[in-house]
Amino acid sequence: MDGKLFDARFGEYTAAVEAYLSGLFEEKAAERLPWGRLYESMSYSVMSGGKRIRPMLTLECARLGGIRDWRTALPFACALELVHTYSLIHDDLPCMDDDELRRGKPTNHVVFGETMATLAGDALQAEAYRLIARASELTDAAKVDAVLALSRASGADGMVAGQVLDLTGYGHDRETLTTLCDKKTGFMLKAAAELGCAAAGAPEELRGALAEYASRLGLAFQIRDDLLDVTGDEKTFGKPIGSDREEGKITFVDVLGVDGCAREVSRLTEEAVAALDGVEGGDFLIHLAHRLSERDR
């Protein structure tokens, strides 16, 4: 797969996700509900220019899993993006990381207030499961698989546990930071792959390979993030440089150094690619892993 073909598919996935998500909110805005401000708050964060890596992973895994039309997996892909978005809104709250900037824009609670931001996150989580349950062209078995994968990845032993570990200063060496990042980032990327496989009813072996790919990708992604927090350009990165340090957080840069982080991102990216050995048509995901390892936002 050459870069042009990759870009074309990348663009197709992104456009489909954007259209699906904005469709959800346009419908609601038209209803002029007395609680319309809640939808404005939800929409503000969901439509704020995320990279859509997670839903893209779901769609590509559904395609690799043999789904007839990857578009039928959009409800699963976007459900995961809603859960991801809720976690960002809550992570930014004053009682959490107290961040005022996200993707170059004021965070949700800065615009809508703490109350509405908390409620928007709560509602996004519920709406994610509603999207899965309502997916009209997928089987009940696929939906149950998806609910299980998403709730496990985002719940009390997954993403929320990662946030607890992050806020309580658990990560202080390579091992503890890896546990923390796996939970905070890796689990959700793995779930993205699992949701795609669930939508397609993919065979076990393929599920295993794609989940392994996504886990490695997630860790590489987080280390790249830590690196950008030190070496990045504020305008491109979309949030203040050095904010981790300012918050007193220990990151992979403290433990591995800048060069060590760069090497670790390369190593994990190679492992991610190696997990795709024997996966037919995995070239889009190989490209994606390399692109993400070089990203600057």
Chain positions contacting a copy of itself, by CB under 8 A:
28, 33-35, 37-39, 42, 86-87, 90, 93, 95-96, 113-116, 118-119, 121-130, 132-134, 139-141, 143-144, 147-148, 150-152, 154-158, 160-161, 163-165, 167-168, 170, 179
- Write down the least CB distance from residue 132 to a copy of itself, Å: 7
Q: Which is nearer to a copy of itself, 121 or 232 (CB)?
A: 121
Residue linked to tokens 């496990």: 152
- Write down the least CB distance from residue 171 to a copy of itself, Å: 10
Q: Which is nearer to a copy of itself, 114 or 173 (CB)?
A: 114
- Write down the least CB distance from residue 99 to a copy of itself, Å: 14
Residue 270, judged by CB atoms within 10 A of its CB (0-12, 13-18, 19+), counts as: middle
- Write down the least CB distance from residue 144 to a copy of itself, Å: 5
Q: What residue type is 87 in one-letter code?
A: S
- Write down the least CB distance from residue 85 to a copy of itself, Å: 13
Report the run of H or E that residue 126 belongs to, with start and end: helix 108-134
Contacts of 189 by beta carbon, 8 Å cutoff, 6+ apart: 53, 54, 57, 214, 215, 217, 218, 221
Q: What is the Cα–Cα distance from 128 to 54, expressed in whole angstroms?
A: 14
- Write down the least CB distance from residue 81 to a copy of itself, Å: 15
Q: Which is nearer to a copy of itself, 1 or 133 (CB)?
A: 133
Tokens of 123: 């509602």
Q: What is the Cα–Cα distance from 40 to 137, expressed in whole angstroms?
A: 28
Q: Which is nearer to a copy of itself, 111 or 262 (CB)?
A: 111
Q: What is the Cα–Cα distance from 273 to 210, expressed in whole angstroms?
A: 10
Residue 93, judged by CB atoms within 10 A of its CB (0-12, 13-18, 19+), counts as: middle
Q: What is the Cα–Cα distance from 94 to 90, expressed in whole angstroms?
A: 9
Q: How far, CA to CA in Å, does 193 sit from each of 22, 145, 260?
A: 23, 12, 28
Q: What is the DSSP letter of 47?
A: T
Q: How far, CA to CA in Å, does 34 sit from each of 22, 40, 119, 175?
A: 20, 12, 15, 49
Nearest 5°: CA angle at 185, between 182 and 186?
50
- Write down the least CB distance from residue 130 to a copy of itself, Å: 4
- Write down the least CB distance from residue 220 to a copy of itself, Å: 23
Q: Which is nearer to a copy of itself, 154 or 222 (CB)?
A: 154
Q: Which is nearer to a copy of itself, 169 or 281 (CB)?
A: 169
Q: Which is nearer to a copy of itself, 122 or 212 (CB)?
A: 122
Q: Which is nearer to a copy of itself, 160 or 241 (CB)?
A: 160
